[in-house]
Structure 1
């Protein structure tokens, strides 16, 4: 069936929450990137993005970026990044998964950013997804809007359940947020190498309803401003996105909002779906029906 250029007003409103005027608070007043959160999460930023870096991360890891600069290809850079992370955080399989007895004590399981990506691929609303959304909240200041159910206010049970999962001790060891900081900065180093002269990528997301998405503004029959979750998956391939729903969201994503993408590392759980992990907020979205 050919894609339709229009989505009915009933489809737009079914399950979608109108934010209203003025919109609810989108996040914290402070973050780790030195930009106002409201601006970072806005359509204005998406239209004219500026560089985004996590405070001090590159300065504290100069050897990593020296190694990346010497790499002859993105594949070599990915291997260098993988080796650096293994050395810094003890992520070799025998170190991470097999407890080593020291006297009567067992070494604690070492959390890995790759485990979070695997968990996200299986269920973005699982415990690993909560940790990833918590990292975005911490570093970029943007609140999640959905975790298992819509999160409308911080006083709700949905918010409490999210907080409990994002702070669970299972994944909060081995400097897991620092691992994700390094992953983001590596992504920011690699994206311009792969897309020289390009500021935005056209990405697609398939959905079956608007239950997880808040409509901030309806512009016309095919365009809305949508408040996306603070971390959200897209695909570079429209056909792949159509496998996940009969409604397709198309967005222009600035490179600065890419957290991870399928060609960044040689082996990972998102390889087969051309998947991109993107920092959310308000986006101008083009909608269509398959």
Structure 2
């Protein structure tokens, strides 16, 4: 796991991470352990992933969504629910003391996801990586900054920010199940300038098995990915590993065709 004093988390070893390897943490808040959901076998044969207690706690939201055939209306209902449930427009109801010395942070799920688009190695990026680490048990492999410090700073004083992200993932999965009811995977692309951010566990020509960072941005457009680097990584991404995408919510992600993908071991094409 990253240490707060390091500038980046190293991930340049060449062995497959199993057992005591710190890429897979022993605890998470998911129905499968990290060593399974982060494995190559899971990429090839995924099964549903659920976060502990989220669907049960927010059952009323999804009951209402089932009666709404329009995706835009569902998105607005979801955002309204988030605003009310997490007191996003009435932080004093969540314990804000306007006269206190310590000001409560205004960060919420929208700010985190939009902030990721500006700088995935910034404060919001650290919060999102930390959420994946906590919920799925996949340790951060790369963060160009002080990961532990950035994560703590991003979470301090917020109102259940990681619980907000729990609901974003669960809602995303609900929408993907409607959009791609007959699919288990999406073919997505990621442009990179170098491969030293990845553990390349095995490579045979263009085919490779790599350990991805615990969350990464992809796009559905190969041409778009090609604009972002000298190499293009093509991966069959399980739908259950998508935690957000470009038109899930209005103005959510800045990148055209952007998908946020949970990491682990992937078989990919590198061109």
- TM bucket by the smaller chain? 0.7 to 0.9
CA distance in 1, matches of 2:16, 2:249: 42
Give 1:210 deviation, angstroms. Answer: 0.7
**Residue aligned with 2:247, SS:** coil
Q: Tell me how large the CA RMSD over aligned residues is.
A: 2.2
Q: Flag structure 2 segments of 5+ consecutive residues without an equivalent.
A: 1-9
Give 1:103 deviation, angstroms. Answer: 7.6
Contact 1:17 1:213 in 2 (8 A): yes
- Structure-2 change in CA distance of 1:252 and 1:102 (3 Å): closer
Return the TM-score normalized by structure 1: 0.82
Match of 2:147 among 150, 162, 167: 162
Contact 2:246 2:254 in 1 (8 A): yes
**Residue aligned with 2:164, SS:** helix
Match of 1:125 among 121, 139, 142: 121
1:20 — aligned with what?
15
**Residue aligned with 2:50, SS:** coil
- Structure-2 change in CA distance of 1:171 and 1:191 (3 Å): farther
CA distance in 1, matches of 2:120, 2:15: 27
CA distance in 2, matches of 1:258, 1:21: 23
- Structure-2 change in CA distance of 1:51 and 1:104 (3 Å): closer
Instruction: Say whether 1:137 aligns with 2:133.
Output: yes
User: Any runs of at least 4 consecutive aligned residues in structure 1 with deviations exceeding 3 A, and if so which?
Assistant: 21-25, 101-107, 169-172
Give 1:25 deviation, angstroms. Answer: 3.2
**Residue aligned with 1:17, SS:** coil
Q: Flag structure 1 segments of 5+ consecutive residues without an equivalent.
A: 1-14, 150-160
1:5 — aligned with what?
none
Give 1:21 deviation, angstroms. Answer: 5.6
Give 1:19 deviation, angstroms. Answer: 2.3
Give 1:84 deviation, angstroms. Answer: 0.5
Higher mean alpha-carbon deviation, 224-233 vs 73-82, is at 73-82
Deviations 1:214-272 (A, max 9, x none): 10111x2011101000011100111111111121100000011000001111222x244
**Residue aligned with 1:114, SS:** helix
Contact 1:46 1:254 in 2 (8 A): yes
2:7 — aligned with what?
none
1:206 — aligned with what?
191
Contact 1:16 1:210 in 2 (8 A): no
CA distance in 2, matches of 1:235, 1:114: 20
- Structure-2 change in CA distance of 1:104 and 1:25 (3 Å): closer
Give 1:34 deviation, angstroms. Answer: 2.3
**Larger gyration radius, structure 1 or structure 2:** 1
Map 1:52-131 onto structure 2 (within 5 A).
Answer: 52-92=49-89, 95=90, 104-105=99-100, 108-131=104-127
CA distance in 2, matches of 1:266, 1:103: 30
CA distance in 1, matches of 2:98, 2:176: 46
1:280 — aligned with what?
263
1:236 — aligned with what?
220
2:205 — aligned with what?
221
CA distance in 1, matches of 2:238, 2:27: 21
Matched residues, number: 255
